[in-house]
Structure 1
Amino acid sequence: MEIFGSTFDDSVFLEARDRVSVALSSYNAKLCKPEWFCESTALDTDDPLEKQKVFKFRGDLAVRQGNHQKALDAYSSCLEWVADNNLTIRRDVLEGMARCCTRLGQRERALDLADLLSKEASNTCHLISLLLLKVSIYQHFGDVRLKMTSLQQLCSMLPFNPWHWYSLGQTCLQLLESDRTTGLCSPQSFESVEEQREEQQEEASELDEDRIWLKACTCFIRTRLLLRILRQQQSSFVLQRTESTLQTTDEVLQRLNPKETTLQALTEVVSEDLIPEKMREDYQDGESLASVCLQSFQGALVEQDLNDWGARD
């Protein structure tokens, strides 16, 4: 009786066949001068790929030099030579054009380019890059609420990234400050109907302010929990940045001044998924968008009656 695995195939002991050596032809690397693509003769070619490279390199150099109009022109020319199946370069060029338009104050064109990128997104990496692009566009033009929406989606896509949570918390603070300033500057009416309408608007504004305040508390608590976990594996300037952000987070939470019961409840809720095994899984990277669903960021805590919470001191 033979034990399973105790026998071997005879082919294991056969001698290897004689291998025929193939002589490799000599290879001469192409040497290029610095900024060779800036020369007028660089476009003296019929190769579409070479023209694409020239315009792409010119655009990248112009961005580095701060000449965004020149970079936009170069990227636009490059896009004409990008092959239809070269989606990587196409997305890179479109994003470069959108960022140049942002710097040039062309808000609508920048958003149109972002929408074009969103239509061509096929995986989570594309979607994350798109959301980061939108955040930069909205931040440049001062669209705080739209920026907050994109950051919320980023936090949903990357729930263990503390920097997106921190940015979202800072955006909530900015929105709170702007809403308070707007409220102080609102005109008052002496007619009873207008006064009633203003009272209703003030109540709605206060409720909205409370929700944003609670969201800010949640974001900074989540940031603090994530950074405390990550700093165990950090050192050098990375650890210094983490420690500095933790100090800022603690100061902001003191300024927001939630009740101790609110702080404990929020900490308990936002730490439920902070399991080391789950945090190590990078299951979303490159995943098809067909299986991704960005749900509303509004959690159960925010949807509860804030009066029953008694969240603030």
Structure 2
Amino acid sequence: MEIIGSTFDDSVFSEARERLCASLSSYNAKLCEAEWFCESAALDTDDPLEKQKVFKFRGDLAFRQGNYQRALDAYSSCLQWIADNNLTIRRDVLEGMARCCTRLGRREQALEAAELLSKEASNTCHLTSLLLLKVSIYQHFGSVRPQMSCLQQLCSLLPFNPWHWLSLGQMCLQLLDSDPNTERASEAEADQKGAAERAEDRVWLRACICFVRTRLLLRLLRQQQSSFVAQRSEKALQVTEEALQRLNPKETTLQALTEVMSEDLIPEKMREDYQDGESLTCVCLQSFNERWWKSVLLAAVLQTDGPRVKS
């Protein structure tokens, strides 16, 4: 007995192929000269889409050539011709403007463009790109604290990405390497000095947390990698090991941190695609502090011997 709908007429498929071939035979590809969009004649059109393309291509080319002011001007002109529903190009242009302003030393303008992007972030990819953009802006201007804030949000959004944890750990090391005497020279009270020392202890422990987490993740990923990807992970793992040697935690502290930071490293959970939609509202410093800093600090505080960074 044949199931209803389980057989098809071969002529249906042959007719479809004939129609497809007929439509392809009438297609003529558009040929463009190299950098055609740089010519003044490229703007001799009333089509908003064509003008958008011209300014976008001009901006991308100028940025690649290192002419950031020209690129910023082109991106600004492009923004005027982008349709309201074309959010992809709009986000791309706004990011380009933010990066141009960064290279030109215009911090506030760069952050304003990033703020416009934040209002349109609706998924994990959007927020990841936004946070990485902010990291690059703050890094360019030497703003350590805001940069750490963005890295913490990245670790909260993508907890199984070792590169964000590595960057966060390196930022903690940067804070530890800064000269504490300069900050404490103006402090008159002993309790203020004690508070500064306790803050340094917390930074030290947080650096240990980040590098332990990085090492765990890199070791897991190494089993699935090869070629240049594996080489990159090996180099990062070496950097991580050297950082832990500098921090020089006690063995008991290291074991406690490793145990706590590996609790969620379950293959099934790591493959789960759960970070999207409503979960974006939870990506904030408070959630990161509750999930990582406080829980790990409580588990390891009794076994921590304080900062012992090697020079």
Match of 1:136 in 2: 136
The answer for the alignment partner of 2:59 in structure 1 is 59
Which structure is higher in helix share? 2
**Alignment partner of 1:264 is 2:255:** yes
1:33-182 to structure 2, matched below 5 A, reads 33-178=33-178, 181-182=179-180
Cα distance, 1:150 vs. partner? Answer: 0.3
CA, structure 1 residues 65+309, in 2 after alignment: closer, same or farther (shift >3 Å)?
same
Partner of 1:195: 188
Q: Does the 8 A contact of 2:257 with 2:296 survive in 1?
A: no
Query: Within 1, Cα distance between the matches of 2:58 and 2:118?
Result: 26
- Report which stretch shifted further, 7-16 or 287-296: 7-16
**Residue number in structure 1 paired with 2:214:** 223
Amino acid at match of 1:223: T
Secondary structure at the aligned position of 2:84 is classed as: coil
Amino acid of the structure 1 residue aligned with 2:111: L
Larger mean Cα displacement after TM superposition, 239-248 or 290-299: 290-299
Unaligned runs of 5+ in 1: 1-6, 189-193
Indicate how the Cα distance of structure 1 residues 31 and 184 shifts in structure 2: closer, same or farther if over 3 A, else same: same
CA distance in 1: counterparts of 2:5 and 2:33, whole angstroms: 55
The one-letter code matched in structure 1 to 2:50 is E
SS of equivalent to 1:297:
helix
Whether 2:269 is the aligned partner of 1:288: answer: no
Which residue of the other structure, out of 286, 290, 302, is the alignment partner of 1:308?
A: 302
Q: Does 1:254 align with 2:245?
A: yes
Tell me the residue number matched to 1:206. Answer: 197
Largest Rg, 1 or 2: 1
In 2, Cα distance between equivalents of 1:37 and 1:143: 38
Give how far 1:278 is off. Answer: 1.8
> Deviation per CA, 1:100-130, whole angstroms, max 9, x where unpaired?
1011000011111111111111112111111
Q: Distance in 2 between matches of 1:137 and 1:82?
A: 25
Q: Secondary structure at the match of 2:127?
A: helix
Identity of aligned residues (%): 69
Q: Normalising by structure 2, report the TM-score.
A: 0.88
Give the Cα–Cα distance (whole angstroms) in 2 for the partners of residues 146 and 164 of structure 1: 15
Give the direction of change, closer, same or farther, for the CA distance of 1:56–1:291 in structure 2 (3 Å limit).
closer
Q: Report what 1:277 is aligned to.
A: 268
8 Å CA contact 2:176–2:203 kept in 1: the answer is yes
Maintained 8 Å contact 1:145/1:175: no
**Residues 289 and 64 of structure 1: CA distance in aligned 2, closer, same or farther (over 3 Å):** farther
Alpha-carbon deviation of 1:200? 2.0
Instruction: Determine if the alignment matches structure 1 residue 243 to structure 2 residue 234.
Output: yes
Q: Which residue of 2 aligns with 1:233?
A: 224
In terms of mean alpha carbon deviation, does 263-272 or 202-211 score higher? Answer: 202-211
Give CA deviations for 1:54-88 in whole Å, capped at 9, x if unaligned: 00000000111011111000000000000000000
Once the 2 structures are TM-superposed, how far is the Cα of residue 14 of structure 1 from its aligned partner?
6.8
Q: CA distance change for structure 1 residues 290 and 170 in 2, over 3 Å: closer, same or farther?
A: closer
The alignment's TM-score, normalised by the length of structure 1, stands at 0.88
